[in-house]
């Protein structure tokens, strides 16, 4: 590098460090810098000039050999040289960087008419069931309900007996219920056929007033376009001393209006029969919720909790009363988002999920809107 940056002249400058030699050396160094055609060459020049073993650095190392009266003046001259060379290197670097950027801009063009690739984070989709589950729990949470959970594998007592379901009831038959292997004492566990056992567990573990919703998976031996062996259900339970049918209808009405995002919605209760409620009602809503005004949609069952159920949970039915209702989360998702076949919910088809799924950050809230 010494030959490139001055050769014998540099050695002479190192030896004498006269003003004329420094001027000549500076001229040569600046010329080398100006001729540098790329950043790599310029970096080599910087290291060969100002680095630990560079030519200008070598000049500074000779100051110790000079007489004291010459050391100060020569040091100032060498430092001035170093400063001007540094400025020249920086200026040339800026020029070369601008030229390199210009070349990149010429060769690396972006076609802004191409569709934007959103990236893996935005490619994922939230399943409609998960989205609707969150929508429903958000509404009930706003209404003051707590979310309760229970096991998928239940005892016959919690799933049937404490719910006032008699031994001869069709729901207890194997064509409707999945039973586990019989135990030594003759009892058998079941895959819960509804989330009502969560209500039983809550009443056994808490004292009224009780206000809960119990979402979860349930299992029944059934499979067609609108039924699957495993599906999702949510049930609500209110137990206190003053609850009546008017509260039940009002709650269902408010929930449905919030869920379908309507200001007004017709709700009617039709007489029915369930072993665990008395009186019992089927719940219908106006089909205007799904764009079919003038018709009715059945969405679930409801009723006042049967005194036998309250008594089975060690509560006094003469003091406490309440209501319960339930409906399928899958069916609610089908109605709200126009999904025609329940079986597709469990088909793991990515094309279906991209069509009906929700963006990861589309979190349902009552303030921001349940659905986008």
Bridge partners for 277 per DSSP? 274, 305
The verdict on whether omega for the bond into residue 78 sits within 30 degrees of 0, i.e. cis, is no
**Within the chain, how many helices (H) and strands (E) appear?**
13, 9
- The reply to whether the predicted model has a pTM over 0.85 is no
Q: In a structure prediction context, what are the per-residue pLDDT tens digits for the chain, which is 372 residues long? A: 444 444 444 444 444 456 677 788 778 888 888 888 888 888 888 888 888 777 777 777 777 777 777 777 777 888 888 888 888 888 988 988 998 888 888 888 777 888 877 777 777 889 999 999 999 999 999 999 999 999 999 999 999 999 999 888 888 787 788 988 888 887 889 999 999 999 999 999 999 999 999 999 999 887 666 678 889 999 999 999 999 999 999 999 999 999 999 899 999 999 999 999 999 999 999 998 888 888 899 999 999 999 999 999 999 999 999 999 999 999 999 999 999 888 888 888 889 998 998 888 777 777 656 665
Give the long-range contacts of residues 242-245, CB within 8 A, separation 24 or more: 243/321, 243/322, 243/323, 244/304, 244/321, 245/269, 245/279, 245/304, 245/323
Q: What share of the chain is helix, strand, coil (3-state, %, to 5)?
A: 45, 20, 35
CB atoms < 10 A from the CB of 11, how many? 15
Q: Where are the domains of the chain?
A: 7-107, 125-356
Bridge partners for 235 per DSSP? 214, 326
d(CA 197, CA 288): 33
Phi-psi region of 242 (alpha: psi -120 to 50; beta: other; left: phi over 0): alpha
d(CA 155, CA 204): 15
CATH number, domain 125-356 = 3.30.930.10
């Amino acid at each position: 590098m010494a030959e490139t940056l001055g050769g014998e002249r540099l050695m002479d400058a190192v030896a004498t460090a006269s003003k004329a030699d420094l001027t000549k050396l500076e001229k040569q160094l600046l010329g080398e810098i100006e001729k540098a055609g790329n950043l790599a060459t310029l970096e080599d020049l910087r290291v060969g000039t100002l680095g630990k073993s560079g030519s200008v650095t070598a000049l500074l190392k000779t100051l110790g050999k000079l007489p004291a009266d010459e050391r100060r003046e020569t040091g100032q001259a060498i430092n001035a040289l170093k400063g001007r060379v540094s400025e020249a290197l920086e200026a040339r670097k800026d020029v070369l960087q601008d030229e390199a950027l210009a070349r990149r801009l010429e060769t690396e063009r972006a076609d802004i008419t191409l569709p934007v690739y959103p990236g893996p984070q935005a490619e994922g989709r939230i399943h409609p069931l998960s989205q609707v589950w969150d929508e429903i729990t958000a509404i009930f949470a706003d209404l003051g309900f707590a979310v309760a959970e229970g096991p998928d594998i239940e005892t016959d007592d919690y799933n049937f007996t404490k719910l006032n379901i008699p031994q001869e009831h069709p729901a207890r038959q194997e064509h409707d219920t999945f039973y586990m292997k019989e135990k030594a004492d003759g009892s058998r566990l079941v895959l819960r056929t509804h989330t009502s056992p969560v209500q039983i567990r809550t009443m056994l573990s808490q004292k009224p007033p009780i206000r809960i919703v119990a979402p979860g998976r349930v299992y029944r031996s059934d499979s067609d376009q609108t039924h699957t062996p495993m599906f999702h259900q949510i049930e609500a339970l209110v137990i206190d001393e003053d609850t009546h049918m008017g509260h039940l209808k009002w709650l269902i009405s408010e929930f449905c209006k919030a869920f379908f995002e309507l200001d007004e919605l017709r709700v009617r209760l039709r007489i029915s029969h369930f072993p665990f409620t008395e009186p019992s009602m089927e719940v219908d809503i106006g089909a205007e919720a799904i764009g079919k005004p003038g018709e009715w949609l059945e969405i679930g069952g409801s009723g006042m909790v049967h005194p036998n159920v309250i008594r089975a949970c060690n509560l006094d039915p003469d003091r406490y009363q309440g209501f319960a209702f339930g409906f399928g989360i899958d069916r609610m998702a089908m109605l709200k988002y126009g999904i025609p076949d329940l079986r597709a919910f469990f088909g793991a088809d990515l094309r279906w999920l991209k069509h009906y799924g929700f963006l990861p950050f589309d979190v349902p809230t009552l303030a921001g809107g349940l659905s986008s």
